[in-house]
Structure 1
């Protein structure tokens, strides 16, 4: 039986275990993929604690497989699916987990993986890079404008800095002092995180910023808001909607479609977006991969690679 890394109830790392599961079967509109790589994201451990995405309803079935994004090879096609065939190399968002040897993907949020793109890099695009892309597009800043990105050293933040640069924006990235070189390597001005953030941002952007993409929430979000002349140019993927709406901003609106994935592939192939996979782990060490992200010290992306 295929293996999957799951959590058996809401709680901490003690709920995690590698188990054998039945091979899933694709329903209408779905494809079954033999997983080659799975991206690791903060939302994975947050869901283990009981967090639900905005708009999520219903109860979670346990054991629940971790993971939101994978790359792999199509093994079965569900009813009503066009454009994919058994043997296709693809990547996309998962229906119900991706830290596994097999995963189900909705065809509408699945894209073909070009041969030039590795499975490992492809697995980073559906969540982190796509969230970055959606947010930058939502801000809709003109070329030459200045964008502030908080939490700039992680998967979403590092992608946002690169996408901003590709669109001709000047980027200012907030991250820990230890990530200074990384942020600057992405073409952004680095601002250390910590108290009195707004003053340090003004030191590198005296005229303020034209847009802010927050990935942290709390006081960081509140300080970012003070740097804007137009509060509508404040968006967040790091705080609940009420927290940002009281400041005049909004949550990131996720497109969740194949067109965004195809656009990200073009950025990667053009050399404008590097997924920056900094560490990989095999499936039987998925817990280590997740704990690395949960500790908040990961630079770029962490990926689980599944043996063929």
Structure 2
């Protein structure tokens, strides 16, 4: 195929509100370096990292929920997930499904034509396990909110599936985040997992992947979305913030809390963990500042684990789950790429159950 020299792209020009995105129809198509591939983007999913980075929510100067982050000013030195600045302009968008259309000098041309999804963690090829040398696609390098993108060949994972590009673009971030959390908490069939925010992209992935491990799942979601969450496999679906969570749980014994919500309801959820229980967290969309009684932590022998940079095998395992039909996409809505601002507004307002995807 003939590769154009320019493309449509949504460019982030700095930290701030949605007006910081600039639609361009003349952006240069990138050229792959020796260890990279050029991908024609079929679809790109939205995720919290895109929103959080745009508004600078990761900065410790901001203490509120994601949807209110633009009311505060992030510090210049820690506005991103890694606690360091990024350069602008930047093309965000990590969750790409597309086709390899060109390769760098060190990559076999046999890869041209492969359908791929992304492993978003950019690791040092000489030091793969070093978290301090790890970046994120769409953050430390340009991502998929464009017609074409480049990335290291090792991060472009071949996938064979009858699912559409938009459906496959729901997996890279939400499902790898969820699987990383469950792996950190060592969830097994012996567990009962409590999942707040179960109607969101990561929450829905947690439901499916916990069930895949054989665990029992108790999900929390707004009542209008209970049917959608139940369809993902949750054993019990409760209101988003029950008046009395312990009473609502009845005889259920929660051994794992898998949380990306945080916020004011967080202490009541920690309180229902069984002795020896585990909390695994990878977000705080309702607010990062929470109250913790340290006596709860140590007297009940709880274990808390944060989960951001996932293990090497997580995304390749997801490919196997997808190809085997063990997990299904939770595609909520698709938007044209030029309507990214509207798509992100809907994402922040949680208008849809599941993942939102933009299509060039």
Provide TM-score, normalisation by structure 1.
0.88
Unaligned runs of 5+ in 1: none
Partner of 2:232: 186
Pick which of 22-31 and 119-128 moved more. Answer: 22-31
Q: Which residue of 2 aligns with 1:303?
A: 357
Residues 262-286 of structure 1: CA distance to partner in whole angstroms, max 9, x if unpaired?
A: 3223323333311121211112222
Counterpart for residue 17 of structure 1? 22
SS at match of 1:100: coil
CA distance in 2, matches of 1:222, 1:82: 52
CA RMSD of aligned residues (A): 2.5
Please list every run of 5 or more consecutive structure 2 residues that lacks an aligned counterpart in the other structure: 1-5, 59-78, 121-136, 298-302
Task: Give the structure 2 partner of residue 32 of structure 1.
Answer: 38
1:147 maps to 2:193: yes
C-alpha change, 1:43 and 1:103, in structure 2 (3 Å) is: same
Which residue of the partner structure matches residue 101 of structure 2? 75
Partner of 2:88: 62
Deviation at 1:54, TM superposition (A): 4.0
Q: Which residue of 2 aligns with 1:261?
A: 315
Corresponding residue SS for 1:72:
strand
SS in 2 for 1:210: strand
Query: 5 Å matches for 1:92-103?
Result: 92=118, 93=120, 94=137, 95-103=141-149
Work out the CA distance in 1 between the residues paired with 2:203 and 2:255: 17
2:49 corresponds to which of 43, 52, 55:
43
> For each residue in 1:193-251, what CA deviation from the matched residue of structure 2 results, as whole angstroms up to 9, or x when unmatched?
12646335523xx2430101001012333222111135661011123999699755121
Richer in helix (by share): 1
Q: CA deviation at 1:9?
A: 1.8
Name the CA distance, whole Å, in 2 between partners of 1:281 and 1:121: 13
Distance 1:25 1:201, change over 3 A: farther
Indicate whether 1:202 and 2:252 are aligned: no
Q: Offset of 1:98 from its aligned partner?
A: 1.1
User: How many equivalent residue pairs?
Assistant: 302
Provide closer, same or farther for how the CA distance between residues 73 and 222 of structure 1 changes in structure 2, counting only shifts above 3 A.
same
Separation in structure 1 between the aligned mates of residue 268 and residue 95 of structure 2, nearest angstrom: 32
**Cα gap change, 1:53 to 1:213, in 2 (>3 Å):** farther
Q: Distance in 2 between matches of 1:299 and 1:36?
A: 22
TM-score, normalised by the number of residues in structure 2: 0.76
CA distance in 2, matches of 1:253, 1:71: 22
Partners of 1:297 and 1:242 in 2: how far apart?
A: 25
The answer (yes or no) to whether the contact 2:255–2:277 under 8 Å persists in 1 is no
Deviation at 1:108, TM superposition (A): 2.9
